[in-house]
Chains A and B, each alone.
Chain A
Amino acid sequence: MSQNPLLPPITEDNDVFWQGARQGELRLQRCPDTGRLIFPPRPLSPWGEHREPEWVAVSGRGEIWSYVVPHPPLLPYFSERAPYNVVLVALEEDATVRLVGNLVAAAGGPLNEIDPATIEIGARVRVVFDPEEPEFPLPRWVRV
């Protein structure tokens, strides 16, 4: 099995997110003035007067907003796992923050373990962190 070729470089904008993931915490930016979550993270808040975003841990609970099941041709790492699911999860704290992830049976479980026919929009899920890449524990999702 090859290595995930699409891991991001660590940047000023995403560093805290991945630090949180390594500690099993889903961290997002928040606008200190309006209290609104900001995603994807960026250098400054689009709202409020102070503009300097703060980082907060969120619950890691949400519901499936949509999903797709990619089939090859794909990059080899993903072809080996296809067909697999990709879900978009609307967070409990703010349903307009929708995280791309995968529905798995348990943390570290393969991407293609869940029968796509059983995936339902609106299903409640919680975050788990995949230990496959220690520097990038990708948040994925399990049903609750």
Chain B
Amino acid sequence: MLKDATAIVGIGETAFAKQLAGSETKLAITAILAALDDAGIDASEVDGLASYTLETSDEVEIAKTLGAGDISFFSQVGYGGGAGPATIGHLAMAIATGQCRVGVAWRSRKRGSGQRPWASASQSPTTAAQWTRPWGLLRPVDEIGLITRRYMHEFGATRDHLANVALAVRGMANRNPRAIMYERTLSREDYMAARWISEPLCLFDNCLETDGALACVLVSADRAADCAQPPVYLHAFGQGLPSQSHTMVNYWGQDPLCGPSWTCARQLYRNSDIRAADIRVAQFYDAFTPLVLLSLEGYGFCGRGEGAAFSEDGALELTGRLPINTSGGGLSEAYVHGFNLINEGVRQMRGSSTSQVKDAEACLVTAGEGVPTSALILRK
């Protein structure tokens, strides 16, 4: 069993900025060394590696530059923002089954200084994209915009509900000096006046474009007891790729408003003693604000179509019933394919968040809704 068998004992990250100097590999190593230092573990002990298929710093480059010993487990997870928690989950399975002992997961990305992925997509589209892009559905924001408009139509959600997410998360960033939006407050009036990107989504429904890298160190629960930091146990892990689903353009299933979160949540809670009702803080993948409303539903905090209403009355803010994305998330701290949500989940369990939720015994961390996805429940 995976439950509580492993623990995150180290987290590390670079600064976050629109542009950072250094290659993605150099940033990755910087974050990994910081995570190992946090854990009190030497780089030579690392024998497990996990990252994203989109990662440009591959295992060979990382292992040799880090000064790792022999690597006995290495794994990459696909689907961009769906991968984060799964990198931790794959390491946990490898450690629990004896395939490695000290696992490192990381994501390094110069998305701020690099090109927008869709802007380089002007070659012939294949796979599902050939059925969407020729008609001008180009960017992730357009793809999620279609789902959002339907969600608003079916459940009576409004732009105010999307703003609830953007404002709550910005409030968290305003307390986190590491967040890119630390000094930039956002009002509901600002939100409503923002320019459209893809109606019904405006500028503030979109995540940031960031350079940065983050890493985690995972070991067995036994080993964790000897590390420098209090262990944060991996209580439950799930992945989900629903029947007949597609990445981002998940339009051809029975109910596109019940996306991969629902599938992932079933697996997550199957082996968990902790239920949604027990969770007091969550880090939801927030490349776009509507993904948070859909995730609230998928992970069981409310019923289908109730995510918008759930967000009312400041529910997602620090004093609300479920504070989310307490470092500022992808919307306002940094967008590094959701890895900052994992590190923040660890800080919440250590009691060291700049928006600390008192008495939180567990934290949910999710990957992207709308893509084959993954999630973790961390506990003290």
Known A-B contacts A68-B146, A100-B251; the reply to A86 vs B135 at CB < 8 A is yes
Q: Which residues of B contact A6 (CB under 8 A)?
A: 121-122, 124-125, 133-134, 138
Docked complex: B138-184 residues within 8 A CB-CB of A: 138-139, 141-142, 145-147, 149-150, 153
Docked complex: B219-254 residues within 8 A CB-CB of A: 244, 246, 249, 251-254
The reply to whether the CB of A32 lies closer than 8 angstroms to some CB of chain B is no
Closest partner residue, chain B, to A78 (CB atom): B136
Q: Which residues of A contact B138 (CB under 8 A)?
A: 6, 70, 74-75, 78
- Tell me the complex Cα distance, A13–B33, Å: 47
Q: Which residues of A contact B249 (CB under 8 A)?
A: 100
Closest partner residue, chain B, to A69 (CB atom): B199
Known A-B contacts A8-B125, A65-B150, A66-B146; the reply to A84 vs B198 at CB < 8 A is no
Rounded to whole Å, the gap between the CB of A3 and the closest CB of chain B is 11
Rounded to whole Å, the gap between the CB of B351 and the closest CB of chain A is 42
Q: Which residues of B contact A96 (CB under 8 A)?
A: 252-254
User: How many inter-chain contacts with C-beta < 8 Å in the A-B complex?
Assistant: 111
- Tell me the complex Cα distance, A8–B136, Å: 13
Docked complex: B346-374 residues within 8 A CB-CB of A: none
A121 touches B125 (CB 8 A): no
Docked complex: B13-47 residues within 8 A CB-CB of A: none
A68 touches B142 (CB 8 A): yes
The reply to whether the CB of A134 lies closer than 8 angstroms to some CB of chain B is no
A4 touches B134 (CB 8 A): yes
Docked complex: A9-25 residues within 8 A CB-CB of B: 9, 11, 14
The reply to whether the CB of A101 lies closer than 8 angstroms to some CB of chain B is yes
The reply to whether the CB of A55 lies closer than 8 angstroms to some CB of chain B is no
The bracket for how many chain B residues form the interface is 35 or more
The reply to whether the CB of B314 lies closer than 8 angstroms to some CB of chain A is no
- Tell me the complex Cα distance, A86–B249, Å: 13
A67 touches B146 (CB 8 A): yes
- Tell me the complex Cα distance, A62–B55, Å: 41
Docked complex: A66-103 residues within 8 A CB-CB of B: 66-71, 73-75, 78, 81, 83-84, 86, 88, 96-102
Instruction: Choose from B130, B197, B251 the contact partner of A71 (Cβ within 8 Å).
Output: B197
- Give per-residue flags for B109-143: 1 if the beta carbon is below 8 A from chain A beta carbons, else 0: 00000001011011011101011111111110110
Q: In terms of DSSP, what is the predominant structure of the interface of chain A?
A: loop
B134 touches A121 (CB 8 A): no
Of A39, A66, A83, most B-chain CB atoms within 10 Å = A66
- Tell me the complex Cα distance, A86–B132, Å: 9
- Give per-residue flags for A12-45: 1 if the beta carbon is below 8 A from chain B beta carbons, else 0: 0010000000000000000000000001100000
Known: A8-B124, A70-B138. 13 other contacts (CB 8 A): A6-B138, A65-B150, A68-B142, A69-B196, A71-B199, A75-B122, A86-B142, A88-B251, A96-B252, A96-B253, A96-B254, A99-B131, A136-B134
20 intermolecular pairs with C-beta atoms under 8 Å apart: A8-B125, A8-B126, A8-B130, A39-B131, A40-B252, A65-B150, A66-B146, A66-B147, A66-B149, A67-B149, A70-B197, A71-B197, A73-B116, A74-B136, A81-B136, A86-B135, A86-B146, A96-B254, A101-B135, A111-B136
Give me the interface of B with A, judged by CB distance under 8 Å: 116, 118-119, 121-122, 124-126, 128, 130-139, 141-142, 145-147, 149-150, 153, 195-201, 244, 246, 249, 251-254, 256
